[in-house]
């Protein structure tokens, strides 16, 4: 009974809302076909395993914990700030804005399973695109990607400077999705069927049956 109540509440809070004609920064490295389906109405969805949804909740709690700790040091000037309105119709929200020795820094926090954490030699491409777009839209020169292992709470950080070439690649990816949408052309799949992206996608059944 208690588990059912937890799962139903999480499902209620995670219900997808129809897109209002805008993109998210995370779309830059997402499956183009999934984003395409997000924009189209009436595409049947497959129920996502509630254990996957609970992992999202866990990730959010990790973000809140680490930002709260940093707030006590006095370096957090703002948190959960929406990116400014822009011509690309891209939405997003940074985890925290820091100021250290007079320098503004964007902090993006990610939590991953330990098997992925221990092999992390550089930040993941999707996270690089995300932080680079934040730096670009906020006109800030430096940011940090902070990863925490979900299993043992170990931390690793990656410093990142604004890189216009990377920003251009991220924007190009989103503009390509917009082109598919305008032409009503279903994009190719970006991931294999056994990838976590496909396994957690609400369109996986429709995608592979069409």
Q: Which pLDDT value is given to residue 9?
A: 65
CATH label of the domain that carries residue 36: 3.90.320.10
Q: Which pLDDT value is given to residue 50?
A: 61
Residue 154 lies in a domain: yes
Structure token pair of residue 195: 């990838």
Residue 152 lies in a domain: yes
Residue 115 lies in a domain: yes
Residue 79 lies in a domain: yes
Domain count, the chain: 1
Host domain of residue 101? 24-209
Token match 């299993």: residue? Answer: 151
Residue 4 lies in a domain: no
CA distances for 139 relative to 36, 99, 124, 132, angstroms? 29, 14, 22, 10
21: left (phi over 0), alpha (psi -120 to 50) or beta: left
Q: Which pLDDT value is given to residue 116?
A: 83
Q: Which pLDDT value is given to residue 30?
A: 94
Q: Which pLDDT value is given to residue 79?
A: 94
Q: pLDDT per residue over 141-166, tens digit each?
A: 999 999 999 889 999 999 999 999 99
Residue 16 lies in a domain: no
Question: Strand 76-82 and strand 142-149: pairing?
Answer: unpaired
Residue 89 lies in a domain: yes
Residues in the chain where the model's pLDDT stays below 70? 2-19, 48-60, 210
Q: Which pLDDT value is given to residue 180?
A: 96
Burial class (CB in 10 A: 0-12, 13-18, 19+), 2: exposed
Residue 98 lies in a domain: yes
């Amino acid at each position: 009974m208690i588990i059912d109540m937890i799962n139903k509440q999480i499902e209620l809070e995670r219900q997808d809302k129809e897109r209002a004609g805008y993109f998210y920064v995370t779309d830059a490295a997402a499956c183009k076909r999934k984003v395409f389906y997000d924009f189209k109405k009436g595409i049947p969805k497959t129920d996502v395993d509630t254990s996957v949804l609970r992992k999202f909740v866990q990730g959010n709690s990790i973000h809140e914990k680490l930002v709260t700790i940093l707030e006590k040091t006095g370096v957090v000037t703002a948190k959960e700030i929406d990116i400014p309105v822009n011509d690309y119709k891209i939405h997003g929200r940074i985890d925290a804005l820091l100021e250290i020795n007079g320098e503004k820094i964007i902090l993006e926090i990610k939590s991953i399973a330990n098997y992925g954490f221990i092999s992390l030699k550089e930040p993941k491409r999707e996270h690089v695109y995300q932080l680079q777009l934040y730096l670009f839209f906020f006109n800030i020169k430096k940011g940090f990607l902070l990863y925490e292992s979900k299993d043992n709470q170990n931390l690793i950080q990656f410093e990142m400077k604004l890189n216009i070439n990377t920003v251009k690649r991220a924007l190009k990816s989103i503009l390509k999705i917009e082109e598919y949408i305008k032409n009503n052309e279903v994009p190719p799949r970006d991931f294999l069927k056994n990838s976590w992206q496909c396994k957690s996608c609400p369109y996986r059944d429709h995608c592979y049956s069409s």
